[in-house]
Chains A and B, each alone.
Chain A
Amino acid sequence: MSSGNMNLTLKVWRQKNASDKGEFVTYKADSISPDMSFLEMLDVVNERLTKKGQDPIHFDHDCREGICGMCSLYINGRPHGPKRAITTCQLHMRSFKDGETITIEPWRATAFPVIKDLAVDRSAFDRIQQAGGYVSVNTGGVPDANEIPIPKVIADEAFNSATCIQCGACVAACKNASASLFVSAKISQLALLPQGQPERYRRAQAMVAQMDAEGFGSCTNTGACEIECPKEISLTNINRMRRDYFGAKFFKEEEIN
């Protein structure tokens, strides 16, 4: 077992399942190396718990390089911890002080119910995209890739929106638990590109309707999501979503239910 010189106290949310009430449990995390990632620190704690026959702390994680969007964790009052533009798996223990108490909570939103401990159900995000987050093309029979020229600035802007990793930090950070940054990034990517134009207004309406149906809060432009987004997705996307949504509802004849 590797060791380091940091001794920490963890206040961790433990909840057996969705219907359990849950509570904070305090753990000592001793001999932690500053070179460990935050999740590796939890691995070490879990291995020690396992050795003692205690249920390890459950948390979601997978790629551990900041792209799959599976890791979450609300650390000391902020999603993905104290540093900007990274996910929890990219956060290292050197960002904390020896002797510090670290509070670890799951994403809190009614639309993201807790499954166990720190793992939450983010399938609401999938359903929002299923409602319209695509270009309706079948496999095959599409034009040559270079038949659709796209100005570089537009392509780059669309790319910026497309970098969203669907982690849900925007919802976690928002005091209203609004999913606007996520939904608008998805709407924006296709709203900017020529491929997305035929379904642009239908898509905006469908995805916003699903977002509301999932029970997310409303956006009050606090900008917390933009600051906490590990991919630094811009608030501009939210305004673009509003323009497309209002444009669709007030000026387009195509109505979707």
Chain B
Amino acid sequence: MSSFTKAFSSTLGKKLIMGLTGLFLALFLVVHLIGNLQLFKDDGGKAFNEYSYFMTHFMPIKIISYLLYASIVLHAVYALILTLGNKKARTVGYAQYNGAANSTWSSRNMGILGTILLIFIVIHMKTFWAEYHWGGLPYIKYETNLSDASDVKVTPLPYEGKQLVHSQYVDTQNGTEVVVAKDLYKIVNEAFSQPWYVALYVLSMIAMGFHLYHGFQSGFQTLGFDHSKYKPLIDFLGLWVFSIIIPALFAAMPLYFLFK
């Protein structure tokens, strides 16, 4: 075995994979959130649909997205491997266990929280990602007046059995900039008008908050990063940004569409 395979097959190394993928996923959440904030724009989904196109067609982003898929899979697979290993490390459990006395609830329930998130991710990707890539998505046409950017004409182009092509050009005759894009915004709108779906999202985001409450700072520790001067900053970010603000904003999106 090479040094690397040996390193990654140790308990420390397996956890390193968890830490690295976990932190990468956390970082992705920030990017994902910033992009999705476009949903709150009242522009008939133009910014959001343009952003969706950019994210799926810009090469560097595409490469990163494969890394992302791999991270999700690795994070889940290694979680499973480690959990099984940990179960083997204690085959006879305690009759009475008072974990609350010495650790946070989050830290003891990362597996359950992670499973909820994995189920969520599958549903989430099925609804949007798979639809966007392979589903028969409607298109939408935005014609923006070149001399008045607030004058936008929106024309939905329903799916009629044949995919249209994404295009963007300047119509010199009409003096407009024309964008024809897949209308993911519509899908979002439809999905988020179903109360059960919104409930699933909100609950999942709460789970994500708890998962990241432990996971964010734990990820740094797993990498071996621990410094008395910076640890408070990491703990602060972990709590406020990753376990409160980000999940709250994500949860706000379906609620926004539901009550819009």
Contacts and interface: CB of A to CB of B under 8 A. Distances in A.
B182 interface: no
Nearest to A211: B11
Contact of A76 (B10, B98, B99): B98
Interface string A197-237: 00000000000110110011111111110011000000110
A61 interface: no
B21 to A, nearest CB: 15
Contacts of A209: 10
Given A109-B89, A236-B226, A212 B11 contact: yes
A233 to B, nearest CB: 14
Interface string B69-110: 000000000000010011011111111111101111001101
A175 B222 CA distance: 17
A243 B15 CA distance: 13
Given A109-B90, A239-B221, A250 B7 contact: yes
B89 A221 contact: no
B243 to A, nearest CB: 15
Main secondary structure of the interface of B (DSSP, over half): helix
Contacts, number: 137
A108 B4 contact: no
A187 to B, nearest CB: 11
A93 B2 CA distance: 54
B86 A218 contact: yes
Contact of B15 (A218, A228, A235): A218
Contact of B102 (A74, A176, A228, A241): A228
A250 B95 contact: no
6 contacts: A109-B89, A215-B89, A218-B12, A223-B102, A242-B16, A246-B223
Interface of A: 11, 13, 24, 74, 76-78, 82, 103, 105, 108-111, 173, 175-178, 208-209, 211-212, 215-224, 227-228, 235-236, 238-243, 245-246, 249-250, 255
Given A109-B90, A208-B11, 8 more contacts: A76-B98, A78-B101, A82-B101, A103-B96, A105-B95, A173-B102, A224-B102, A246-B7
